[in-house]
Amino acid sequence: MDWAAIAERQRERYETTGKPVLRGNAAYGAALAHLMAAEPDDTRAWFHRAASAWRESWSDATPTSWGRPIGATKALLLAGDDDGAAGAADWALSLGCEEAESPIGRYAAALALLTLARDEDARPQANVLRGRDDFPADVADALAFIAAHDPVAYAEAADSVLTSFENRDEYLEDVPVADTLLVLQLLAARRGIAADLRESPVLPV
């Protein structure tokens, strides 16, 4: 992949779109491209831009636009900004995602609670997702096994998530990176159970 070209495309999208949510998407794609190109300073800067744009976009969102707090939390985790990620997680919870009817809302809750190291609270949220047929089972499993600190089961779930990304035809902003798995790995690493992943074109070297 020509990651420099992808990053430039994403920067142009960011600069030319007027809607904050689309700026967030574009900035996130740019950050992923810089991540794959091993450019840490640009990676962090663009993840912060993504999180800021998604937070700004909430004023135009519906109460169930859970992708925005999810995106902000993921972006700040990937930026290595633990305090910022905790703030985004608190924001997600303040919006009521723990009681959401949709699976994406419960995903927001599980992600936020794990980010805040509230593992006991995260487990029932992940288990709700595991009981749904409209949410990726391997992601739900991974969240549950992170909360349970189960390294063997988590490694199996993580490998499945990686395979699912490798087999996709569509990616956010057309940037082929397994970002969800990268976030799961960060959360797993905090608990000492990160998986030893195989090399893959959708993961940074």
105-143 pLDDT, tens digit per residue, is 999 999 999 999 999 999 999 999 998 999 999 999 999
What the chain holds in terms of domains, given with CATH numbers, is 3-190 (1.25.40)
pLDDT at site 53:
97
**pTM for the predicted model, two decimal places:** 0.96
The residues, ordered by sequence, that sit 6+ positions from 69 with a Cβ below 8 Å of its Cβ are 54, 58, 88, 91, 92, 95, 97, 108, 112
Mind listing the pLDDT tens digit for each residue in 153-197? 999 999 999 999 999 999 999 999 999 999 999 999 999 999 999
For the record, the structure tokens of 191 come out as: 């608990």
